[in-house]
């Protein structure tokens, strides 16, 4: 194969990458529709889309009469333009103010700063969605990183604000609220993109996997954090003969010689001591004020392991298994 043929193939490939694929075409349609759905709560359909590469002079002639002209700021301190025809921006403002598009279209009027402030979130939402949708497309270099910056009552100052370079012009005809209003939206951005390069398919797959793992961890943490934990406030423990326990009746009294209201043990269902506190009240209800935190009690042995008190006050060794009587039972828990 000759050098001339190779050179022509390489040049064609570079040109194709520079122009990008159909990403911006489909992406801008979806971005406008989603922004209208999420920000305006109104259906929007793109009925026609056209792309062109033009100079600054042609960009200045594009905005329709009395259009809302939004100046966009992007990578490398670049400036772009988004123009909404009077039919479009007035219909959008009607949806935001009265909740629907008026049956009869109002007379065309000049846009105001209030109109621009109301529609700025929708403009940003569409640009953000467009950027996210083209994360793996070549068009990302010229559509990525653009946001609403300011508003112009008259498009004539654009000639002084915009750079004299080539621009990519995306013109769409939109249908708002199922045909209630139709108009034009024009997007003009510098053709030589200064934004981020698209990520590779493999990098995108890895990123999606990491994002999925992060979401799973967050959802699991939320489920665990919302789970209920039961703690018992224990005054003291005593050891009684089984015959005494079986014979207990209403009105019987147990001597709690080691009990203290200033030393309440908080235990889990497994008998493990989690914290200590003192008995009190809060808003008329019994409460326990912590004096030793959970971290201090974490990892300690169950409260039943140390020596416990018999009714007479004598010590019974629980670790060795020796007890005063063969029919004694383990510690009886007296809950506050």
Report the b/e string of 2-25 with b at 16+ CB within 10 A: eeeeeeeeeeeeeeeeeebeebbb
Domain count, the chain: 2
Residue 209 lies in a domain: no
Query: Residue 261 domain-assigned?
Result: yes
Greatest mean pLDDT among 22-26, 57-61, 237-241 lies in 57-61
**Are 9 and 152 contained in the same domain?**
yes
* 175 and 89 within one domain: yes
Question: What is the share, in percent, of the chain residues with pLDDT greater than 70?
Answer: 77
Q: Tell whether 147 is covered by a domain.
A: yes
Per-residue pLDDT tens over the stretch 8-18: 444 444 433 33
What's the mean pLDDT in 107-120?
A: 93
In the chain, how many H helices and how many E strands?
10, 13
Cα distance between residue 212 and residue 50, in whole Å: 36
How far, in Å, CA of 126 to CA of 142, rounded?
A: 15
Residue 15, pLDDT score: 38
Q: Which residues pair with 332 in a beta bridge?
A: 238
Which pLDDT score, from 0 to 100, does residue 208 have?
65
Residues 164 and 272 occupy one common structural domain: no
Q: What is the pLDDT of residue 44?
A: 94
Tens of pLDDT, residue by residue over 37-79, are 999 999 999 999 999 999 999 999 999 899 999 999 999 889 9
Q: Whole-angstrom Cα distance, residue 111 to residue 153? A: 7
| CA–CA gap between residue 181 and residue 145 (Å, rounded) | 30
Residue 50 shares a structural domain with residue 158? yes
Decide which of 18 and 254 is more confident.
254
If asked whether residues 237 and 192 sit together in one domain, one would say no
Check whether residue 100 and residue 237 sit in a common domain.
no
For residue 170, give Cα distances in angstroms to 51, 103, 189, 321, 336.
5, 29, 9, 86, 73
Compare 70 and 256 and report the one with higher pLDDT.
70
- Residues, the chain, total? 336
What pLDDT is recorded for position 80?
A: 95
Q: Which of 196, 219, 241 delimits the end of a domain?
A: 196
Whichever domain contains 27, its CATH number is 3.40.1550.10
Of 149, 169, 196, the one marking the end of a domain is: 196
Same-domain pairing of 248 and 317:
yes
- Give the mean pLDDT of 210-222: 82
The pair of structure tokens assigned to 75 is 């990578």
Most confident of 11-25, 181-195, 281-295: 181-195
pTM above 0.75, yes or no: no
Is residue 91 over pLDDT 90? yes
| Pair (21, 123) in one structural domain | yes
* Of 241 and 200, more confident: 241
Report the mean per-residue pLDDT for the chain: 78
Is 215 among the domain residues? no
Task: Please give the pLDDT value at position 22.
Answer: 53
Where are the strands (E) in the chain, listed by range? 44-54, 68-73, 79-84, 147-152, 167-176, 181-190, 232-238, 264-267, 273-282, 285-292, 308-309, 315-316, 332-335
Q: Rounded distance, CA 174 to CA 126, Å?
A: 14
Q: Is residue 208 part of a domain?
A: no
Domain co-membership, 125 together with 243? no
The DSSP code sequence of 101-162 is --SSPPPP----HHHHHHHHHHHHHHHHHHHHHTTTSTTHHHHTT-EEEEEESSSTTHHHHS
Per-residue pLDDT of 127-156, as tens digits, reads: 999 998 888 788 888 899 999 999 998 888
Asked if residue 210 is part of any domain, the answer here is no
Q: Are residues 158 and 297 in the same domain?
A: no
What mean pLDDT do residues 102-109 have? 84
Are residues 240 and 187 both part of a single domain? no
Do 123 and 244 lie in a common domain? no
The reply to whether 298 falls in a domain is yes
Classify residue 204: in a domain, yes or no: no
Residue 150 is encoded by which pair of tokens? Answer: 């300011």
CA distance linking residue 225 with residue 229, whole number of Å: 10
The domain of 100 spans 3-196
Distance CA 193, CA 20 (A): 11
């Amino acid at each position: 194969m000759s050098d001339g043929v190779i050179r022509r193939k390489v040049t064609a490939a570079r040109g194709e990458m520079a122009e990008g694929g159909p990403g911006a075409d489909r992406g801008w349609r979806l971005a406008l529709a989603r922004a209208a759905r999420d920000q305006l709560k109104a259906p929007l359909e793109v009925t026609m889309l056209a792309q062109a590469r033009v100079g600054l002079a042609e960009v200045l002639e594009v905005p329709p009469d009395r259009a809302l002209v939004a100046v966009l700021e992007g990578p490398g301190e670049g400036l772009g333009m988004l123009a909404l025809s009077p039919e479009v921006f007035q219909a959008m403002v009607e949806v935001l103010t009265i909740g629907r598009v008026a049956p009869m279209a109002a007379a065309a009027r000049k846009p105001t700063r209030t109109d621009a402030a109301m529609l700025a979130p929708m403009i940003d939402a569409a640009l953000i969605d467009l950027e996210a949708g083209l994360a793996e497309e070549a068009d990302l270099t010229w559509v990525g990183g653009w946001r609403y910056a300011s508003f112009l009552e008259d498009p004539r100052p654009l000639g002084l604000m915009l750079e004299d370079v080539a621009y990519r012009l995306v013109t769409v005809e939109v249908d708002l609220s199922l045909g209630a209003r139709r108009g034009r939206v024009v997007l003009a951005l510098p053709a030589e993109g200064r934004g981020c390069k698209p990520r590779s398919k493999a990098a995108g797959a890895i990123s999606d996997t990491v994002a999925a793992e992060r979401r799973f961890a967050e959802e699991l943490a939320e489920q665990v954090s919302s789970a209920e934990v039961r703690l018992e406030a224990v005054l003291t423990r005593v050891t009684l003969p089984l015959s005494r326990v079986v014979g207990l009746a209403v009105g019987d009294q147990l001597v709690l010689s080691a009990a203290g209201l200033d030393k309440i043990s908080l235990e889990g269902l497994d008998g493990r001591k989690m914290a200590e506190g003192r008995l009190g009240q809060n808003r008329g209800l019994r409460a326990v004020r912590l004096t030793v935190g959970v971290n201090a009690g974490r990892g300690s042995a169950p409260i039943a392991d140390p020596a416990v008190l018999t009714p007479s006050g004598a010590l019974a060794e629980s670790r060795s298994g020796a007890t005063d009587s063969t029919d004694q039972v383990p510690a009886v828990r007296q809950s506050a």
